[in-house]
Amino acid sequence: MMELNSIDPEWAWAEFEPDRQNLWDRKKAAHLFRRSAFTGTADQIDRSVRLGMKSTLDQLFDQAGNESIDPQMATAGRLITGGSDAKSLASWWLLRMLKTKSPLLEVMTFFWHGHFATGAEKVMDSRAMLRQNELLRKHALGEFESFVKAISSDVAMLVYLDSQQNRKTRPNENYARELMELFCLGTGNYTESDIKEIARCFTGWEIRRGKFRFNKYQHDTKQKSFLGKSGDFDGNRAVEIVLQQPAAAEFIARKLVRHFVFDNVDISSRLLDPLTRKLRSSQMNISVCVKKIMTSNLFYSKYSIGRKIKSPVELAVGFLRFLNASTNVNQLADRLLGLGQLPFYPPNVKGWPGGKTWINASSILGRANLLAEILVHDKTKFRAGSVDNWFEQALKSYNGSTLEWFEEYLLATSLADATKQSFARLEKNTEFGAAQKLAWLVALPEFQLS
Amino acid sequence: MLHRTICMLVVVGSCWGTCLSAFAQQGEQVAKIFPDSTVAILAIQRPKDLITEIENHFVTQSVMKLPEVKKFFRSPQGAIIKFAKGIVETQIGESLWDNLKTNTEKGIWLGFDPERNGVLVAFQSSDEAKLKRIAGIALTMVGQQAERDGKPIPYKKSNYRDAIAAKFDDFLIARYEDWFFLTNKPDMAKFAVDNLMDSSQPSAADQVWFRTAYDQLQTSLPSPSCVWGAVNLEQIKKLSKNDLAFNGQTENPGVELIFGGILDVVKNASTANFHLHLDQDLSIQVNTPFQPDWASENREFFFGQNLTGLAPKAIKPDHWIASLTSYRDIGEWWLAKEDLYPENVIAQLAQTDSQLSTIFSGLDFGEDVLGSFQPGVQIIATQNRFDDKYIPDLKLPAFALVGRLKESDSIQRRMRIAFQSVIGFANINLGMNGQPQLEVETEKRDESRISSAQYFYEEGTEEGLVLFNFSPTIAFKGDHLIISSTRDLAIELADLVGQPKTEDSNTELQIDGKMLHQVLQANLESLVAQNMLEEGNSRDEAENAIEILLSAVNLLKELKLDFDVNDDQMQMAVKVRFDSANSKSGNAK
């Protein structure tokens, strides 16, 4: 932490310029793909090395902006909501993560799903969950203000925060509280009185027959005073006032940095300041902020590379995308539930805590088993035909050993000498095939890092 | 990989579709190659004819035209098989098919012995020299492949009396004169050789169960080239003594209603046999011995008095897909439930009875409602039609149940009121979930009185909300009762029901392949979507997989299953008729 605080903020957020000492190489390209696209295939990483960082990022953002929904995906989503089974909806999203040509958009959508956490278990309406998912995707890289306004009237969110009926005689404070504490400002930047007043702004916002409705008869039209402003504000105006608070931009910047740069670190306001200013000056444009993060010196520094633990979804989806493979996503969803991260089922309104909480004695074994099962599962289909073919082709075009290949494309950190020696001994065994080699490698603690 | 492929081509390939086993000459004589503890024997009586039939059958040709099959033969695995086949054919100097026909000409047999946990596949060649040659070639090639792979030869040769065997890790192949054996238990091959040489040990051929099954088969085999099988039910029941089904019971009320009588037969019969015959159509018939006193009193609902229960004549409205029609007296079934099920199931049924009695305004659901049905019910499925404005994503077929009532006038009004109550409950639930609700209408059409409930969609109902075009309906005409998933189907059926007629059997299932194909085709989008989730397939892969399913269904013209009993046997016959016209396209799209 001390080390982080000593970083020059201007250097941290300045654009990374590769030079002879600090090349744009496979390790850095792989790092960018891991954080922005679940992972990159060896081809994508090699192409990125040729194109350079900026062009790679431009491509990722262009793909995110031009996503065309596969009609089959849309049909699948609709059919699943017909059965009201949100667990199938989780399978559907996993498949979308695996197949998408706009991986950055899915990464961002998943990030916002954790931020505006809404659990299907409580909402019990998979159609509403799907609509929220579409909303998250639509705003994932847009302007934060319109995003918050949209989520404030989202049916699934209102159900999750018990705001189906918000009457002027009994304003519901849940949403007002979470709007400031979890979504926009963070603790310490508002008072209990602000919560009560903002809750009044949202009175009359209710759900009727599965849809959002503004009931003017239940809206409190009297003056409200909060965060230094007074007036007859409604919910949308309340959102605008909340986001005008100096703390808002820093709160969002911090959350994005924690997600994309390093885990669970108390980041100082001083370090964040250039990023916060950028976010504020862009009218809270998320895309601008994310791009600045992913082009920054800090992002490609030792403070970021290998400083995050992959979430179960990142681990499994990233692995399958790297293999250019797909599998039975219903079973994958079951296994991810066991590892503590099933999309549409966050543990609570705070979302998944992430970081070191992903790893303990049993989960590390579970993660390794999951990847080993994926490799040998009869429903796992490799575009190369089989894992053996895939492995053979992958190594054929690489000028180096299996371990070097693995380190360059798949690992954020280097392997210890003892690990390398163990692998070398195992590799001599002719019965040790491609699936076994990969299973051994991805079970390593180093592979859990991003 | 290659050595296994070669072995499979020559050995398993010869057994080909190992579900089939065969009998060349007299089944009784050949059954002596199986130990007396064998519980199941399968035989292909004239493999050569059957192979030729399959080879030339339009279904086989259609399957070979499927893009996925062509793709497989272009894949590395397919190439290995083709390569190995080419090598073998060069060595034997004829096509593998022709060789297969000669080397299995006298029959193929398969037996399962639970005591040894062993399976023995045997076939007898009409040309001993050819058999010897191909077995030698196969072993040589396997050895050469192992050598190329730098691995030890994967089998060990040995002799037993006049037989020569090669033992692999988990199976053994052996040849004795014109006989060839494949087994997972070498002991079974030894037994076969011993009995072929000196007939010294008691075998399946001496067993009563086999002789009974075989005698029954003699009277029913449709052609000399068919496949047949016999099972020792008595022994299987001993081995599965804790299985409720073998003791004539089930915990599942639905299973009891459909298969209850068959459980009585299984409980009492000591043997069962089947035969399969393929020409342009495929016929399968399963028989067991039967005695009238095997039908227990509490299963009179299934068989009818004195085993005379016959299914009502199947009604086939426009766009008919399938029907299941059967003699079932559901009132009697309900009354007999306490003798049919274990305690826990009876308790659940009593609870259901109590809940449903509330809906029926105090009428006892079992005695008054189910008891008002006459024996004989049928379930009919037709292709659904949709309002142009609201076409659901999932285009489910329409279903209806048709039965007859004993005292129609007195029960009709109670049933209509119950229908309205059910719709009322459904509306409360739908309303709570923001779903469109159902509006009930009652109408009179000629001699029918129809109460139906239709979804009320407001203008601008969003896409995706209309999932099933469902308009639950209850209709009465004379003593006929129709409960249907759509009003249109109920109206059509009301027009078609008339004087009661019966089929010739107790239970009959019929499926129209063409209409089934149309339903699947209409749901192509949803099938593809489901496949993507379950198989992790891309859209193209999912479409290919569904195309195979559609192509297969497209070849089906009709499937018919009949179940009946008479004084000395129970018989279940399945007839699959293929549509050769559709085989020409070979493509479901």
Helix (H, G, I), strand (E, B) or coil at B111: strand
* Cross-chain residue pair B394–A211, CB shorter than 8 Å: no
B536 to A211: CB separation less than 8 angstroms, yes or no:
no
CA-nearest of B203, B201, B160, B212 to B34 is B203
The CA distance from B300 to B332, in Å, is 8
Q: What is the reported pLDDT for B482?
A: 97
Most confident segment among B384-398, B418-432, B504-518? B504-518
**Torsional sign, CA A302, A306, A311, A316:** positive
Q: Where are the alpha helices (DSSP H) in A52-102?
A: 53-65, 71-82, 86-99
Nearest neighbour of A379 by CB, restricted to B433, B463, B536: B536
| Chain A residues lying within 8 Å of B465, measured CB to CB | 127
Which of A71, A78, A385 is closest, CB to CB, to B464? Answer: A78
Ramachandran sector of residue B23 (left: φ over 0; alpha: ψ -120 to 50; beta: rest): beta
B22: DSSP letter: -
Q: What is the pLDDT confidence band of residue B63, given thresholds at 50, 70 and 90?
A: confident
> For helices A86-99 and A103-115, what crossing angle results, to 10°?
140
Look at residue B512 and tell me whether its pLDDT is greater than 90: yes
Rounded to the nearest angstrom, the gap between the alpha carbon of residue B297 and the centroid of all alpha carbons in its chain is 29
**Mean pLDDT value across chain B:** 85
Give the torsion through C-alpha atoms of A48, A54, A60, A66, to 10 deg. -130
Q: Per the CB < 8 Å rule, is A327 touching B536?
A: yes
pLDDT of residue B588: 38
Alpha carbon distance B572, B546 (integer Å): 31
- B438-469 pLDDT, tens digit each: 999 999 998 899 999 988 877 665 555 555 67
d(CA B401, CA B324): 10
Nearest CB to B533; choose among A71, A95, A125: A95
pLDDT category of residue B257 using cuts at 50, 70 and 90:
confident
Q: Write out the residues of chain A at the interface with chain B, using a CB-CB cutoff of 8 A.
A: 70-73, 75-76, 78-82, 88, 91-92, 95, 98-99, 125, 127, 207-211, 326-330, 332, 379-381, 385, 389
The C-alpha of B536 sits at a distance from chain A's nearest C-alpha, in angstroms, of 4
Residues of B in contact with A207 (CB under 8 A): 434
The per-residue DSSP string of B131-199 comes to HHHHHHHHHHHHHHHHHHTT---S-EEEEETTEEEEE-SS-EEEEETTEEEEES-HHHHHHHHHHHHH-
Nearest CA in chain A to B77: A385
Q: Which of B393, B434, B536 sits opposite A209 (nearest CB)?
A: B434
Q: Does B531 have pLDDT greater than 90?
A: no
pTM: 0.75
B16 band by pLDDT with thresholds 50, 70 and 90? very low
Binary contact (B76, A385; C-beta < 8 A): yes
Count of CB pairs separated by less than 8 Å, A with B: 78
How far apart, in Å, do the first and last CA atoms of chain B sit? 36
- Best mutation target among B455, B533, B540 (most A Cβ atoms within 10 Å) is B533
Q: Do A381 and B537 touch (CB under 8 A)?
A: yes
Q: Please state, in angstroms and rounded to a whole number, the distance separating the CA atoms of residues B299 and B281.
A: 34
Determine the Cα–Cα distance for residues B386 and B380; give it in Å rounded to an integer.
Answer: 18
- Residue matched to tokens 């305004």: B361
Task: Give kind and range of the element (H or E) at residue B553.
Answer: helix B539-554
C-alpha to C-alpha distances, B84 to A60, B17, B149, B175, B473, nearest whole angstrom: 47, 19, 15, 22, 61
* Digitized pLDDT (tens) for each residue of chain A, 450 residues in all: 547 778 999 999 999 999 998 999 999 999 999 999 999 999 999 999 999 999 999 999 998 887 766 666 776 777 666 555 678 889 989 999 998 999 999 999 999 999 999 999 999 888 899 999 999 999 999 999 999 999 999 999 999 999 887 899 999 999 999 999 999 999 999 999 999 999 999 999 999 877 899 999 999 999 999 999 999 999 999 999 999 999 999 999 999 999 999 986 788 999 999 999 999 999 999 999 999 999 999 999 999 999 999 999 999 999 999 999 989 998 999 999 999 999 999 999 999 999 999 998 889 999 999 999 999 988 888 877 788 988 988 888 888 899 999 999 999 999 999 999 999 988 888 778 889 999 999 999 999 999
Distance set, CA A235 to CA A147, A206, B55, B527 (Å):
13, 12, 74, 43
Q: β-pairing, A224-226 with A381-382?
A: unpaired
Residue B41 contacts residue B230 (beta carbons within 8 Å) = yes
User: How do strand B480-484 and strand B398-404 relate by DSSP bridges?
Assistant: antiparallel
Please name the residue of chain B whose CA is at the shortest distance from the CA of residue A91. B533
Mean pLDDT of B369-373: 90
Cα gap B177→B196, rounded to integer Å: 10
How many Cβ atoms from other residues are within 10 Å of residue B187's Cβ? 14
B124-133, B340-349, B398-407: segment of lowest average pLDDT:
B340-349
Residue B322's beta-bridge partner residues? B381, B511
